[in-house]
Each structure stands twice: as structure tokens, then as C-alpha cells.
Chain A
């Protein structure tokens, strides 16, 4: 209790940070036995972000995450420092890319900044973002679209697609007016099929052509799928399918339980579950379908709208 009291006055040092977050972080730090000074040093990073007009939310969250996971403040320090750097770079690149666009000055879009910062932290470079902005072509550049495009690019790169191939695809998606979630879906679907794209470079060109035709990810990656299997058709039925898949998986699992022999087997199990669900979803008609991810969210909630719309 006395420690709590000792920490509370230091909160005033970070007065403009959300008090509840500061209190939570102090309590977490105290519970982990960290000196209040070392916690304060972490909070200073969040304060710097606020002072620079950057969103502090991801920094506060990362501090909480690090402390909860048992990382020392010294270990968390470089992580949040990098995060502040990425947020700063994100704001700059958004400002550059959207300068001259009406209503876009000032980098005031926190969400776009956060998403762009994540893209940068996941390996997209500022130059690549600029290329992406250019590849989008003429017309007004929207900060959020560019940020989500950059994150889509990050996902595509994580899938092993060369950036020279990835930028034109995502740039075309931006040109076609893909919404935020569609940009992420595009990147995520490509990432899931990384092997396919690495093995055959023409595949990414096929995707680009489909995007040029105005097709969205759910159509591009699901083109052979028969209607009525759940996508967009309401949640209950598809959820039941998912549940059945889970049961089937559990049945399979119980049969295998005694035969497990290590990590590889566990990985096989992961793949085997994916195969079951994918097969159920698609009827197992094609490789394209079979490769579709096992996504309960897709089948039950698509079309519901939300933050990424």
C-alpha cells in the first residue's frame, strides 16, 4: 500500500496521459517489483508521443503487455522507443504522401498513424510507402487508405512476395478503392498462400489482374466457391458448420491422442484441422478453396461492418 502511495505522486509527471492507464501500469510495475523510476521512464516515452501529437494508446498498451509478460522495464524501453520512432515516421510519411490533399494536413488521423506505424514495424520502408502512394496514381490520397495499404503491403511481404511484385498489386487495390478491411484481407490472403506465390511468380500477376478487374479479396480467393456455404449468408448456419468441424476435429484428435510424438506432430495436427475446416467450407473442390484459411469470423460475421469498413 505504501508503495502505491509512493507511486501516485509521480503520476503527475505524466499528467496528460490517461490516468487510468498510468495507474494500471504503475500497479503492474509494482506487482512485478520494478522500481517506480524505471516505470516512469517508460511512461516518459508515452508522454513524448503526446507532446509530439502522436497517439499514446499503442505505447501504453505495449508497456502493459511487456510488464504483464514479465519483461523488465529495461527490456521494454527499446521496444517503446522504436514504437515512438515508427509513429513519428508514420506521421511524416502520411504528411508527405497526402500534402496538398484537402483536409489531410497535420497528420491528425491517429488511426492512420497507428496503422502506418505498424506497417513500418513489420518491415515496410518509408520509400516503399512512397512508391505505394505513387503507384496508386493520380487523385486525392487518403491517409487511412494509404496506411491500410501499407499494412497490406507488409502482410504481402511477410508472405514472401518480392516487394517489386507486391507494390503494384496493393497500389492497384488502392486505385480500385479497396476499403480498409479489403486491403488487409488482400495482404492476409496472399500471406497465407505464401508458398504458392513464391513457387510461381505469375500467380501474383493473376491477382493483380483480378484486382484490376475490380474484384475484391473474397471473390479473388474464393472464386470457385459455391454459394450457400456461409460467406455472407448469415452467421448461424455457418457457425454450426464451424462447430461441426470442431467436433470432427476433436474426434480426430481423440483418436490420435496416444500417438503424439512431438512438435512436428503438433504442426501436422494444426494443418489437419485446417484441412478439415477448409474442406468442409469449400467441399474440397480446388486447391484454391482448400487453401482458404480457417476463419470463423469470416463465415459468421462478414458484412457486419465495423472499424475497418
Chain B
């Protein structure tokens, strides 16, 4: 049915197609970046994540507790919370579904956490 010559190109197309499907599936759960913004009452942390049950922001300001500052689902897949923070620098991450630690997609700066990941840095002025 296929010539020997055409087999490699068909295989290539199959691999590309499969990779595309996998990447699309993965991409659908990728967080969309929103930079923490200083607003009245604190700093607003936001994250757009589809198909998740809970999102928490954790950091040195709440003893890394994923129970302290849960984001509320605002609009569709947008989650956000305003956290009162003192002036200075704070490091943070997100915890999704109470167990999955997510490096902030966008932050003012990043710093190695010593455990193989990066913490986001938010600067409160």
C-alpha cells in the first residue's frame, strides 16, 4: 500500500500529529500569567487555570500554608485573591488543588528556592 520511501514521511507525520495532540492537551492546563498587582488593601494575586478545584497563594507571608489565602474563582477560569502584605519583598508560589505547586508564570523577579524550584518575588512599595 505504501512504498518504502513514503513510510518515513508518514511516520514523521504521525509523530508530529501525536505530539501536537499531546501538547494541546497539556497546554489546556497551563497557567496563564497575570502579574501580582498592588491595589488598595493589598496585593492581588491572579491566575487563570481551567479545570481546577482550588488555588492558593503561599509564601513567606503566610508560612507557606495552602490554607491561608485561597483564591476565589472570579470569572470563568480566573482565580484571584487580595492579600495584605507589608512593604518589602515577598516570595510566593501557587498551590493548585491543595497539592500541586506551581511556579508563578510571571513575577517581578524569581529566586531559587533551594529545593529545585523557583519562587516568584513580589515587591510591595
Contact = CB atoms under 8 A, between A and B. Distances in A.
Contact of A260 (B30, B33, B34, B111): B30
A261 B38 contact: no
A116 to B, nearest CB: 14
A270 B33 contact: yes
Contact of A24 (B44, B63, B106): B63
Nearest to B105: A270
A19 interface: no
B103 to A, nearest CB: 11
A294 B108 CA distance: 8
Contacts of A246: 34, 37, 46
Given A261-B23, A295-B35, A297-B125, A250 B78 contact: yes
A298 B114 contact: no
Contacts of B65: 68
A301 interface: yes
Question: Which has the most chain A C-beta neighbours within 10 Å: B30, B78, B117?
Answer: B30
B36 interface: yes
B19 to A, nearest CB: 9
B87 A304 contact: yes
Contacts of A122: 111-112
B86 A307 contact: yes
Question: How many interface residues does chain A have, given as a range?
Answer: 35 or more
Nearest to A254: B76
Contacts of A300: 37-39
Contacts of B58: 68
Nearest to B38: A297
A5 to B, nearest CB: 22
Interface residues of B, number: 46
Interface string A105-137: 000000000000000001000000000000000
A181 to B, nearest CB: 7
Contacts of A274: 106
B83 interface: no
B108 A188 contact: yes
B37 A242 contact: yes
Question: Which has the most chain A C-beta neighbours within 10 Å: B35, B78, B101?
Answer: B35
Contacts of B115: 65-66, 69, 71, 75-76, 79
B87 A307 contact: yes
Nearest to B109: A188
Nearest to B40: A235
Nearest to A260: B27
B26 interface: yes
A301 B32 contact: no
B88 A308 contact: yes
Interface in B88-107: 88-89, 101, 105-106
Question: Which has the most chain B C-beta neighbours within 10 Å: A296, A300, A307?
Answer: A296
A265 interface: yes
A301 B114 contact: no
Interface of A: 24, 61-62, 64-66, 68-71, 75-76, 79, 82, 122, 155, 181, 184, 188, 191, 235-236, 239, 242, 246, 249-250, 253, 260-263, 265-266, 269-270, 273-274, 277, 293-298, 300-308
